Amino acid sequence: MTQQVSGLLFFKPFFQKTPVRVDSSLQQRRHTLPASEFRNLTPQDAISVFEIEREAFISVSGECPLTLDEVLNFLGQCPELSLGWFEEGQLVAFIIGSGWDKERLSQEAMTQHVPDSSTVHIHVLSVHRHCRQQGKGSIILWRYLQYVSCMPGLRRALLICEDFLVPFYLKAGFKEIGPSAITVSNMHFQEMEYTLSGQAYSRRNSDC
Protein backbone atom coordinates (compact mmCIF):
# COMPACT_ATOMS: atom_id res chain seq x y z
CA MET A 1 0.00 0.00 0.00
CA THR A 2 1.41 3.41 -0.87
CA GLN A 3 0.37 6.97 -0.17
CA GLN A 4 1.53 10.16 -1.79
CA VAL A 5 2.05 12.99 0.69
CA SER A 6 3.34 16.36 -0.49
CA GLY A 7 5.28 14.88 -3.35
CA LEU A 8 6.96 12.08 -1.33
CA LEU A 9 6.06 8.45 -1.77
CA PHE A 10 5.53 6.60 1.52
CA PHE A 11 5.15 2.83 1.83
CA LYS A 12 2.57 2.01 4.43
CA PRO A 13 2.71 -1.55 5.70
CA PHE A 14 -0.71 -3.05 6.34
CA PHE A 15 0.14 -3.55 10.04
CA GLN A 16 1.16 0.04 10.64
CA LYS A 17 -1.33 1.57 13.07
CA THR A 18 0.09 5.08 13.35
CA PRO A 19 -1.06 7.54 10.70
CA VAL A 20 1.22 8.41 7.84
CA ARG A 21 3.31 11.49 8.51
CA VAL A 22 1.62 14.52 6.97
CA ASP A 23 3.65 17.53 5.94
CA SER A 24 3.05 19.95 8.87
CA SER A 25 2.94 22.99 6.57
CA LEU A 26 0.03 21.38 4.72
CA GLN A 27 -1.81 20.83 8.01
CA GLN A 28 -1.16 24.41 9.06
CA ARG A 29 -2.28 25.84 5.76
CA ARG A 30 -5.67 24.19 6.12
CA HIS A 31 -6.33 26.32 9.23
CA THR A 32 -5.14 29.68 7.97
CA LEU A 33 -6.98 32.30 5.94
CA PRO A 34 -6.44 32.35 2.19
CA ALA A 35 -3.17 34.07 1.27
CA SER A 36 -4.94 36.16 -1.34
CA GLU A 37 -8.63 36.48 -2.12
CA PHE A 38 -10.74 38.74 -4.32
CA ARG A 39 -14.42 39.07 -3.48
CA ASN A 40 -17.31 41.52 -3.45
CA LEU A 41 -17.46 43.68 -0.34
CA THR A 42 -20.35 43.62 2.12
CA PRO A 43 -21.56 46.21 4.67
CA GLN A 44 -19.48 44.25 7.24
CA ASP A 45 -16.36 45.42 5.38
CA ALA A 46 -17.33 49.10 5.61
CA ILE A 47 -15.12 49.89 8.61
CA SER A 48 -12.00 48.40 6.97
CA VAL A 49 -12.84 50.27 3.75
CA PHE A 50 -13.28 53.54 5.59
CA GLU A 51 -10.03 53.11 7.55
CA ILE A 52 -8.08 52.85 4.28
CA GLU A 53 -10.04 55.71 2.74
CA ARG A 54 -9.51 57.95 5.75
CA GLU A 55 -5.77 57.49 5.66
CA ALA A 56 -5.58 57.84 1.87
CA PHE A 57 -7.72 60.93 1.46
CA ILE A 58 -8.67 62.78 4.63
CA SER A 59 -5.07 62.99 5.80
CA VAL A 60 -4.11 64.37 2.37
CA SER A 61 -6.96 66.64 1.25
CA GLY A 62 -9.37 66.70 4.19
CA GLU A 63 -12.01 65.14 1.91
CA CYS A 64 -12.99 61.56 1.24
CA PRO A 65 -14.75 60.25 -1.91
CA LEU A 66 -17.26 58.37 0.27
CA THR A 67 -18.34 58.96 3.85
CA LEU A 68 -18.86 55.90 6.07
CA ASP A 69 -22.63 56.21 5.55
CA GLU A 70 -22.16 56.32 1.77
CA VAL A 71 -19.88 53.28 1.89
CA LEU A 72 -22.57 51.45 3.86
CA ASN A 73 -25.23 52.62 1.41
CA PHE A 74 -23.40 51.45 -1.71
CA LEU A 75 -22.29 48.15 -0.17
CA GLY A 76 -25.92 47.58 0.84
CA GLN A 77 -27.42 48.59 -2.51
CA CYS A 78 -24.92 47.29 -5.05
CA PRO A 79 -22.30 45.03 -3.46
CA GLU A 80 -21.88 43.34 -6.84
CA LEU A 81 -20.23 46.54 -8.12
CA SER A 82 -17.52 46.41 -5.48
CA LEU A 83 -14.35 44.36 -5.23
CA GLY A 84 -12.02 43.79 -2.30
CA TRP A 85 -8.57 42.25 -2.26
CA PHE A 86 -7.83 40.48 1.01
CA GLU A 87 -4.50 39.07 2.10
CA GLU A 88 -4.74 36.65 5.02
CA GLY A 89 -8.14 38.14 5.79
CA GLN A 90 -6.95 41.78 5.78
CA LEU A 91 -8.33 44.23 3.23
CA VAL A 92 -5.40 45.58 1.21
CA ALA A 93 -7.18 47.25 -1.74
CA PHE A 94 -10.72 47.88 -2.89
CA ILE A 95 -12.98 49.45 -5.48
CA ILE A 96 -16.53 50.67 -4.89
CA GLY A 97 -18.82 51.36 -7.84
CA SER A 98 -22.50 52.09 -8.45
CA GLY A 99 -24.80 52.25 -11.46
CA TRP A 100 -25.27 55.44 -13.46
CA ASP A 101 -27.50 56.22 -16.45
CA LYS A 102 -26.31 59.50 -17.97
CA GLU A 103 -23.59 60.32 -20.49
CA ARG A 104 -21.44 62.26 -18.00
CA LEU A 105 -21.11 62.17 -14.23
CA SER A 106 -22.84 64.94 -12.31
CA GLN A 107 -22.86 65.93 -8.64
CA GLU A 108 -25.81 63.64 -7.93
CA ALA A 109 -23.83 60.64 -9.21
CA MET A 110 -21.68 60.98 -6.10
CA THR A 111 -24.43 59.63 -3.84
CA GLN A 112 -26.76 57.71 -6.16
CA HIS A 113 -26.99 54.15 -7.43
CA VAL A 114 -29.11 53.71 -10.55
CA PRO A 115 -29.98 50.01 -10.87
CA ASP A 116 -29.88 48.18 -14.22
CA SER A 117 -27.90 50.90 -15.94
CA SER A 118 -25.25 50.55 -18.62
CA THR A 119 -22.55 52.54 -16.83
CA VAL A 120 -20.65 51.74 -13.68
CA HIS A 121 -19.41 54.78 -11.79
CA ILE A 122 -16.19 53.94 -9.95
CA HIS A 123 -16.33 56.08 -6.82
CA VAL A 124 -13.11 55.01 -5.23
CA LEU A 125 -10.06 52.84 -5.76
CA SER A 126 -7.70 52.70 -2.84
CA VAL A 127 -4.75 50.61 -1.75
CA HIS A 128 -3.62 50.27 1.86
CA ARG A 129 -0.66 52.58 2.46
CA HIS A 130 1.65 49.65 3.27
CA CYS A 131 0.93 48.08 -0.10
CA ARG A 132 1.22 50.97 -2.55
CA GLN A 133 3.63 51.11 -5.50
CA GLN A 134 3.65 47.31 -5.72
CA GLY A 135 1.31 47.03 -8.67
CA LYS A 136 -1.76 46.27 -6.52
CA GLY A 137 -3.77 49.30 -7.65
CA SER A 138 -3.27 48.36 -11.31
CA ILE A 139 -4.04 44.68 -10.65
CA ILE A 140 -7.30 45.23 -8.75
CA LEU A 141 -8.42 47.77 -11.35
CA TRP A 142 -7.70 45.29 -14.17
CA ARG A 143 -9.54 42.50 -12.34
CA TYR A 144 -12.49 44.77 -11.63
CA LEU A 145 -12.77 45.83 -15.29
CA GLN A 146 -12.60 42.18 -16.39
CA TYR A 147 -15.25 41.30 -13.83
CA VAL A 148 -17.71 44.06 -14.74
CA SER A 149 -17.16 43.32 -18.44
CA CYS A 150 -18.89 40.02 -17.72
CA MET A 151 -21.98 41.68 -16.23
CA PRO A 152 -24.87 41.73 -18.68
CA GLY A 153 -25.91 45.24 -19.72
CA LEU A 154 -22.79 47.07 -18.58
CA ARG A 155 -21.08 48.96 -21.40
CA ARG A 156 -18.66 51.39 -19.80
CA ALA A 157 -17.01 52.59 -16.62
CA LEU A 158 -16.69 56.25 -15.65
CA LEU A 159 -14.66 57.92 -12.92
CA ILE A 160 -13.29 61.28 -11.94
CA CYS A 161 -9.75 61.82 -10.73
CA GLU A 162 -7.30 64.60 -10.02
CA ASP A 163 -4.83 65.54 -12.78
CA PHE A 164 -1.90 63.68 -11.24
CA LEU A 165 -3.68 60.34 -11.56
CA VAL A 166 -4.66 60.75 -15.23
CA PRO A 167 -1.52 58.85 -16.41
CA PHE A 168 -2.34 55.96 -14.03
CA TYR A 169 -5.83 55.54 -15.52
CA LEU A 170 -4.63 56.08 -19.11
CA LYS A 171 -2.20 53.21 -18.57
CA ALA A 172 -5.13 51.07 -17.41
CA GLY A 173 -6.97 51.72 -20.70
CA PHE A 174 -9.19 54.67 -19.74
CA LYS A 175 -9.66 57.65 -22.06
CA GLU A 176 -9.81 61.24 -20.89
CA ILE A 177 -13.17 62.82 -21.72
CA GLY A 178 -12.52 66.27 -20.28
CA PRO A 179 -12.93 68.32 -17.15
CA SER A 180 -15.69 67.10 -14.87
CA ALA A 181 -18.61 69.26 -13.77
CA ILE A 182 -18.13 67.86 -10.27
CA THR A 183 -16.22 69.90 -7.72
CA VAL A 184 -15.49 69.05 -4.10
CA SER A 185 -14.25 71.92 -1.89
CA ASN A 186 -12.46 73.73 -4.72
CA MET A 187 -10.94 70.51 -6.08
CA HIS A 188 -11.33 69.95 -9.81
CA PHE A 189 -11.31 66.64 -11.62
CA GLN A 190 -10.86 65.03 -15.00
CA GLU A 191 -13.50 62.57 -16.15
CA MET A 192 -12.24 59.26 -17.54
CA GLU A 193 -14.08 56.57 -19.47
CA TYR A 194 -13.35 52.89 -20.08
CA THR A 195 -15.27 50.95 -22.71
CA LEU A 196 -16.14 47.51 -21.42
CA SER A 197 -15.56 44.78 -23.92
CA GLY A 198 -19.04 43.30 -23.48
CA GLN A 199 -17.75 39.82 -22.76
CA ALA A 200 -21.14 38.85 -21.36
CA TYR A 201 -22.26 38.69 -24.98
CA SER A 202 -19.39 36.56 -26.20
CA ARG A 203 -18.92 34.18 -23.28
CA ARG A 204 -17.65 31.37 -25.46
CA ASN A 205 -14.37 33.24 -25.95
CA SER A 206 -14.01 34.70 -22.49
CA ASP A 207 -13.42 33.71 -18.86
CA CYS A 208 -16.92 34.83 -17.79
Task: Write down the H helix ranges in the chain.
Answer: 24-30, 46-53, 59-61, 68-77, 136-149, 166-171
Binding of ligand COA by 158 (CB under 6 A): no
Provide long-range contacts, Cβ within 8 A and 24+ apart, for 181-185: 181/104, 181/105, 181/106, 181/107, 182/105, 182/106, 182/107, 182/109, 182/110, 184/63, 185/61, 185/62, 185/63
CB of 77 to ligand COA, least distance (A): 19
Contact by Cβ (8 Å): 63, 185: yes
Min dist CB 94 to ligand COA, Å, is: 9
Cα separation, 84 vs 35, in Å, equals: 14
49 binds ligand COA (CB under 6 A): no
Q: Which of these segments, 106-114, 142-150, 162-170, 199-207, binds ligand COA (CB under 6 A)?
A: 162-170
Applying CB under 6 A, among 161, 174, 180, 192 the residue interacting with ligand COA is 161
Q: How many CA atoms lie within 13 A of 121 on its CB side?
A: 27
137 binds ligand COA (CB under 6 A): yes
* 192: CB partners within 8 A, 6+ apart: 158, 159, 160, 161, 166, 169, 170, 174, 175, 176, 177
Nearer to ligand COA by Cβ, of 106 and 202: the residue is: 106
Binding of ligand COA at residue 124 (CB under 6 A)? yes
- Residue nearest ligand COA (C-beta atom): 137
| 3-state secondary structure (DSSP) of residue 143 | helix
Choose the binding region for ligand COA from 9-17, 84-92, 160-168, 178-186 (rule: CB under 6 A): 160-168
Of residues 7, 19, 152, 167, which one binds ligand COA by CB under 6 A? Answer: 167
Nearer CB in complex with ligand COA: 56/109 = 56
Report CA Rg, the chain. Answer: 22
Q: Pick from 75, 127, 145, 196 the residue near ligand COA by CB under 6 A.
A: 127
Residues 51-90 that bind ligand COA (CB under 6 A): 56, 65
Do the Cβ atoms of 191 and 177 come closer than 8 Å? yes
Distance in Å, CB of 99 to ligand COA, minimum: 18
* Contact set with ligand COA (CB under 6 A): 56, 65, 124-127, 132-138, 161, 164-165, 167-168
